[in-house]
Amino acid sequence: MENLFIAATATSPEIDFRFDQQWLSLRGESYPENAAAFYAPIIEQLNAWLDASTAATITVEVTLTYFNSSSTKMLFSVFDALDRAASAGNQVQVNWYRDEEDETILEFGEELQTDFTAIQFNDCPVAT
């Protein structure tokens, strides 16, 4: 499968999915006008790749500084796909980068850990 790269805009994050390296990255802010339209093709490609992955070690780097409620729903879809892949025998590690002062991003990361237990989460506070 071809790698997927979408450059960040003022309202959408950089998506850098290097399927050939089993490395996925989301970075920036996420509040596109239509989050479902932005994320649907990303989730579709992710699901297709994960469906073909067996006994893979997948690293996910998430550095989101802001996301709105419609992006939150789509992020849950991304993490649901990753959790299913982990439950199917893949090792999925998420490095959750956040400003050490940002309680909102911390709490969302904690919620993801609670909801998606097959994924190994690493909270990575960053001093600014």
Sign of CA dihedral 84, 52, 18, 8: negative
- Ranges of beta strands (E only) in the chain are 4-6, 14-18, 23-30, 57-67, 91-99, 120-126
Domains defined along the chain, listed by start: 21-126 (3.30.750)
pTM of the predicted model as reported, rounded to 2 decimal places: 0.94
| 127 confidence band (pLDDT: 50, 70, 90) | confident
pLDDT in tens, 54-88: 999 999 999 999 999 999 999 999 999 999 999 99
Whether the predicted pLDDT of 23 surpasses 80: yes
